[in-house]
Structure 1
Amino acid sequence: KALAKYREMAAEGEWPKIAKGKPLKAGMDDPRVPTLRIRLLASGDLKSNETPQSTIYDQTLVAAVKAFQRRHGAEDDGVVGPNTLKALNVPLSYRIKQMVINLERRRWMKDDLGKRYIFVNLADQFLKVVDTLATREKTIFTARVVVGKPYYDTPIFDDEMEYLVINPYWNVPSSIANKEYLPKLRRDPGYLKRQNIRIISASGEINPYSVNWNTVSRIPYRLRQDTGKRNALGRIKFMFPNQFNVYIHDTPAKSLFNRDTRYFSHGCVRVQNPVKLAGILLKPQGWTISRIQKQIASGKRRIVSLKKKIPVHVTYLTAWVNKDGQINFRKDIYKRDQKLINALLPGGKT
């Protein structure tokens, strides 16, 4: 229905483009405002246009811009700055293609996602837990996530969560050890120790000052960060063993969750409110939030196996429709949309 609606709009012509200029803020007088009204009316964010000629950026229009921003995953501050202007000026013809390819992505997914499952949309940078209650699906938990930066983009796949680790170690991947930590060791052999990262060989722990790191091209040892509040995985990791070595985990870098764009990881998924997530997943096994917090406070590493595995679906959807009919779009941060448009649609380039 949403796609048909957009195609009907396209038959009437393209959305008007809004000229560049200073950021529009509430109460400003700007000649671009009438065009902005027409644009937001066309996409349904503005419900009526009772003052079509007014050049005042009034509160009714501010509310419409906020609605538009929410549908596009942006901060709903009501200011038409560069990013909001760029989203407003995406052609209707491109949005239609975006909807078509995301319908195709949805077809690639399993028909049955499970009675209870975890759904991560990388483009939306959100995670949700969905449960089936009385034959109807209901989202019982949502959280912001930090996902892979474009060079380390998080892959799309399905798996099953098998266990949680409370107070985990972090075994540093060799790629991170060699690309990021080896140069630091050359400058300062004590760097890793201050990060609570141990250097371990087959025969035991290595003193970082006993190695001439300037002669090392690749670290021949295992790097392991101790448990604790500074651990890169935070206090809990959620494991669904897979070929990509990707999992969901806590993080000490909580401030990143406040950002609208959260592509900062090396590929794993960092989740906001991990204790609450763990509480939901472990509740059927008798765990409470209090019990989880006590285990964290003990500082002791503990593996908790799930008696029933939970499906995990890691997806990349840049367009979708909510159950209430709201149409959402997200930035194509991994630059995957155009490739799919070229492959699936005639005259794919826009």
Structure 2
Amino acid sequence: MAIMRCALVVIAAVPVPAMAQHESPLEALRSFERQAEWSDRFDATLPEVRAVNSTAPTLSPATLGRMQIAIEQYRTIAATGGWPTVNSPQKAMRLGTRDNAVRTLRRRLTISGDLVQIGGRDDVFDSYVAAAVRRFQMRHGLAPTGIVDQATLDAMNVPVYVRLGQLETNLGRIAEYSGKLDDRYVLVNIPAAEIEAVEHGRVRSRHTAVVGRIDRQSPILTSKIYEINFNPYWTVPVSIVRRDLIPKMKENPSYLKDQKIHIYRWGDETREYDYTEIDWNTDEATQYMFRQEPGELNSLGTVKINFHNMHQVYMHDTPQKSLFGEDARFHSSGCVRVQNVRELITWLVQGNGWDRAQVDAAIRSGQRLDVQLKRPTQVMFAYITAWVNADGVVHFRDDIYRKDGVETLALR
């Protein structure tokens, strides 16, 4: 039986973000109108925010031309002195803030093309500034709250020469990746922690992802998705037994029972062992196979996506849905967790004649089911920290694995 390397045994409680962070721009404005001192129409700025998103894929021959244009633009910004450092007052800047720091913030956002409307008092954080901040946050993979918090400040204060270096480095990556694409493929952009399902040059769906943390990195690879496992078992890899499961059992001997994990000898599932038969103060547990039953506690969630690779990684659902709401989604042991995985699965099994109802029924049954794809689909794990979408909007992400070769933003 192949070792499954990726899912984490420890299922920690993650706080759900405050509802205010999920307000739409219009909802945020309405909640503030009672205190506002101006009458700017916030909805007039929404087209600029929408332009950050695009149905065009990250990788394409057209992306290369847009990257070249962006590189020249950033070279010009660098040659004219770059952008100013933004120093926030003690409280995070937000709609209604009046401070000299807002003047600097406006200059910073104007230079990078996020702020177009420059009317009104230059020391007031008005609705146009809020829209520009949201646009900036979306371009940098941050929650679009419109509030200048510490993570937003950190991203704003990355020097222009660093961003230029990212663009130049990723130009070569995009050129290499774009030359290897099938007409139908799945792209996992590791630094963006995002997945695109692409067909005939258009993005059919985008999915937030959770990828490998810095000490257990998701690998760069190209392969073919050939199989979907519904309601899968999870066999705990030896590396996670050693690093996670043994310490957890020392803290809580009932952990295996609580998580519905059974103990067998490798290659022999005729006898189940009790946890008391293992010396947890040694590495003896690594000689056993630990298998988690299908169900809501299963670390793989309800479905697993298989593709051949030497790293023993895969894509899967997860019971920890709250992780998808975080800005920095680097929590796994190398595999990739997929938000709204049923939509991706439905697209993958279309060649088998399946629709969404059949996918939902297979999951709802709770029964183990392996489906071989009649139309295997290319999957690519890529490392792209800078790109330009079809509307010319430049995106940046943190160099989480330190592969860009330039000074980068400290990990949040």
Q: TM-score, normalised by structure 2?
A: 0.78
Q: Assess if the C-alpha contact under 8 Å between 1:197 and 1:224 holds in 2.
A: yes
State the 1:187 CA deviation: 4.7
Decide which of 287, 291, 304 is 1:220's aligned counterpart: 287
Structure 1 Cα separation of the partners of residues 279 and 156 of structure 2:
56
Question: Which deviates the most, 306-315 or 214-223?
Answer: 214-223
1:51-200 equivalences in 2 (<5 Å): 51=120, 54-109=122-177, 111-132=179-200, 137-200=201-264
| 1:331 Cα deviation after fit | 1.4
- Match of residue 336 from structure 1: 403
Q: 1:242-257 counterparts in 2 under 5 A?
A: 242-257=309-324
Gaps of 5+ in 2: 1-68, 408-412
Which residue identity lines up with residue 231 of structure 2 in the other structure? N
Q: Secondary structure at the match of 1:328?
A: strand
2:107 equivalent among 27, 38, 45: 38
Post-superposition offset of 1:234: 0.6
Q: Label 1:177 to 1:131 Cα distance change in 2 as closer, same or farther (>3 A).
A: same
Conservation of the 8 A alpha-carbon contact between 1:69 and 1:84:
yes
Letter in 2 for 1:260: D
Deviations 1:178-209 (A, max 9, x none): 22112333454432122111101135211222
Secondary structure of the structure 1 residue equivalent to 2:361: helix
**Structure 1: which amino acid aligns with 2:107?**
I
Match of 2:191, SS state, is coil
The letter of the residue matching 2:100 is P
RMSD: 1.7
Paired residue secondary structure (1:29): coil
Q: After alignment, is 40-49 or 204-213 more displaced?
A: 204-213
Deviation, structure 1 residue 39: 1.2
Instruction: Give 1:110 deviation, angstroms.
Output: 5.0
Contact 1:190–1:209 (8 Å) recurs in 2: no
Corresponding position of 2:87: 19
The secondary structure found in structure 2 opposite 1:100 is: helix
Q: 2:297 aligns with which of 230, 249, 256?
A: 230
Distance 2:402 2:309 in 1: 24
Quote the residue 1:347 is aligned against.
Answer: none
Displacement of 1:55: 1.0
Q: Extract unaligned runs of 5+ from structure 1.
A: 343-350
Give, as a single letter, the amino acid of the residue that structure 1 aligns with 2:235: N
Q: Tell me, in whole angstroms, the C-alpha distance in 1 between the residues paired with 2:102 and 2:88.
A: 12
Q: Is the 8 A contact 1:101 1:341 kept in 2?
A: no
- What CA distance in whole angstroms lies between the structure 2 residues aligned with 1:216 and 1:90? 45
Task: Mark the CA change 1:145 to 1:215 in structure 2 (over 3 Å): closer, same or farther.
Answer: closer
Structure 1 position 80, deviation (Å):
1.1
| Residue 212 of structure 1, CA deviation | 3.6
Structure 1 residue 176: deviation in Å? 0.6
Cα distance in 1 for residues equivalent to 2:172 and 2:197: 23
Q: Is the partner of 2:281 in helix, strand or coil?
A: helix
For the Cα contact (< 8 Å) 2:208–2:339, is it kept in 1? yes
Amino acid at match of 2:108: R
Q: Quote how far apart the aligned CAs of 1:114 are.
A: 0.4
> Which of 258, 261, 265 is equivalent to 2:325?
258
Q: Against the structure 1 CA distance between its residues 189 and 29, is the aligned structure 2 distance closer, same or farther, given a 3 Å change threshold?
A: closer
Equivalent-residue separation in structure 2 for 1:184 and 1:89 (angstroms)? 40
User: Structure 2: how far apart are the matches of 1:264 and 1:154?
Assistant: 10
For this pair of structures, how many residues does the alignment match? 335
CA displacement at 1:333 relative to structure 2: 1.9
Alpha-carbon offset, residue 216 of structure 1: 4.6
Counterpart check, 1:324 vs 2:388: no
What fraction of aligned residue pairs are identical, expressed as a percent? 39
Contact persistence 2:227–2:307 (CA under 8 A) = yes
Q: Deviations over 1:300-339 (max 9, x none)?
A: 11110011211101111111000111000111222222xx
**Residue 344 of structure 2 is aligned to residue 277 of structure 1:** yes
Q: Which amino acid in the other structure matches residue 225 of structure 1? A: Q
User: What secondary structure is seen at the aligned counterpart in 2 of 1:278?
Assistant: helix
Q: What SS is found at the alignment partner of 1:24?
A: coil
Alignment-mate amino acid for residue 314 of structure 1: F
> Is residue 8 from structure 1 mapped to residue 76 from structure 2 by the alignment?
yes
Corresponding residue SS for 2:243: helix
Q: Is the 8 A contact 2:197 2:204 kept in 1?
A: yes
Seen in structure 2, the aligned counterparts of structure 1 residues 213 and 86 have a Cα distance that, compared at 3 Å, is closer
Distance in 2 (CA, whole Å) between partners of 1:330 and 1:213 is: 41
With 203-212 and 147-156 compared, the bigger mean Cα shift is at 203-212
Give 1:348's aligned residue.
none
Matched residue, 1:305:
372
Q: Distance in 1 between matches of 2:372 and 2:197?
A: 18
1:90 aligned counterpart, secondary structure: coil
